[in-house]
């Protein structure tokens, strides 16, 4: 397959690997791609379109943008970019921004509520449009940051599933960029001349948010010990349950004291249980 650049070839390879490892897209799928206008969702839409045109399986794409109602949000640029490239697109206008303002106290962090509300809109639109999968642009750096957020602030060891089923079982959310690094997605969106937009909400880029702090810490760590993020990413796909302290897990694995349920080999990122399906729960 001819790619426009080495970067595109690399992203295509990583995305294909995620699709295969976790069974993210199947023949006949109609994939709703959540497009915020940020670099990651654009990179996702672009690479899925490249893969779709060359895939052995048949699947279709529809880009859906949830407009939160912020005045300066240039959803028209998203619609235009999609039209120019022949991508089916729907802009869903909402008043999520207002709802968040009404519900949250001034010092509350809006992202979690915002994410849930936007996800709800995507679920509804997916039903209306007959989409069988909802693809989101979370990438490898998001996986690592989420792992640390949960570890440092929530007291739980979990990252972000590549594939999850909504609580009601009606929707399947997939993240085909889980092996793609943020800088790759960013460079790819730029290379493809996609119009990267800000979401225009007041929390966008707020450096006091926990996720932004984690990003800065990781940046410092990576400077001091290059490769640390890659190691963390490999770790997410290479867990040793018997060396954790979760009695429920040990019980389920039948690993008593002294038992070792660690897999014999130490695979790299992406070798975690192919096709594993996780239940949706605030990820």
The binding site for ligand SF4 (CB under 6 A) comprises 110-111, 114-115, 199, 201, 203-204
Burial bucket for residue 169 (CB in 10 Å: 0-12, 13-18, 19+)? exposed
Task: Tell me the β-bridge partners of 173.
Answer: 134, 164
- Look up residue 242 and give its DSSP letter: G
Q: CB 49: neighbour CB atoms within 10 A? A: 16
CB 16 to ligand SF4: min, Å: 28
Q: How far is the CB of 146 from ligand SF4 (least distance, A)?
A: 13
| Cβ nearer to ligand SF4, comparing 14 with 119 | 119
Alpha carbons 42 and 144: distance in angstroms, whole number: 21
Q: Give whichever of 110 and 176 is closer to ligand SF4, judged by the CB atom.
A: 110
Q: Minimum distance from CB of 111 to ligand SF4 (Å)? A: 3
CB of 203: closest distance to ligand SF4 in angstroms? 4
Residue 114: CB minimum distance to ligand SF4, A: 3
Based on CB atoms, which residue is closest to ligand SF4, 30 or 213?
Answer: 213
User: Measured between alpha carbons, how far is residue 94 from residues 5, 76, 114, 128 in Å?
Assistant: 37, 15, 12, 16
Taking the complex as a whole, the smallest distance from the CB of residue 202 to ligand SF4 amounts, in Å, to: 7
Of residues 109 and 166, the one with the C-beta less far from ligand SF4: 109
Residue placing its CB nearer to ligand SF4 in the complex, 57 or 204: 204
Residue 25 to residue 174: CA distance in whole angstroms: 8
Q: Which residues are within 8 A (CB) of 164 and not within 5 positions of it... i.e. 6 or more apart?
A: 172, 173, 277, 278, 279, 280, 283
Longest dimension (CA), the chain: 61
Which CB, 148 or 199, lies closer to ligand SF4?
199
Residue number of the CB atom closest to ligand SF4:
114
Helix (H) or strand (E) holding 165: strand 163-165
Say if CB 140 and CB 177 are below 8 A apart: yes
């Amino acid at each position: 397959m001819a790619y426009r650049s080495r970067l595109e070839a690399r992203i295509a390879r990583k995305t294909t690997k995620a699709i295969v490892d976790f069974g993210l897209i199947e023949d006949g799928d109609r994939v709703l791609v959540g497009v915020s206008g940020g670099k990651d969702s654009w990179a996702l839409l672009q690479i899925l379109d490249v893969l779709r045109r060359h895939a052995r399986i048949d699947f279709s794409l529809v880009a859906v943008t949830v407009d939160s109602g912020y005045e300066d949000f240039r959803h028209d640029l998203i619609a235009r970019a999609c039209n120019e490239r022949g991508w089916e697109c729907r802009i869903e206008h909402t008043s999520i921004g207002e709802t968040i303002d009404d519900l949250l106290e001034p010092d509350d962090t809006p992202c979690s509520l915002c994410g849930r509300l936007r996800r709800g809109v995507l679920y509804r639109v997916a039903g209306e449009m007959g989409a069988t999968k909802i693809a989101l642009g979370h990438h490898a750096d998001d996986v690592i940051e989420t792992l640390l957020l949960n570890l440092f602030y929530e007291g739980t060891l979990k990252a972000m599933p590549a594939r999850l089923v909504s609580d009601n079982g009606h929707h399947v959310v997939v993240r085909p960029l889980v092996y793609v690094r943020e800088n790759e997605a960013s460079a790819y969106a730029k290379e493809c001349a996609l119009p990267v937009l800000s979401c225009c909400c007041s929390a966008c880029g707020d450096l006091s948010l926990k996720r932004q702090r984690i990003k800065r810490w990781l940046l410092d760590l990576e400077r001091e010990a290059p490769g640390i993020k890659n190691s963390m990413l490999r770790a997410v796909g290479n867990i040793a349950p018997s060396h954790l302290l979760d009695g429920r897990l040990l019980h389920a694995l039948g690993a008593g004291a002294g038992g070792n349920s660690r897999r014999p080999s130490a695979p790299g990122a992406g070798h975690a249980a192919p096709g594993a399906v996780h239940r949706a729960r605030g990820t």
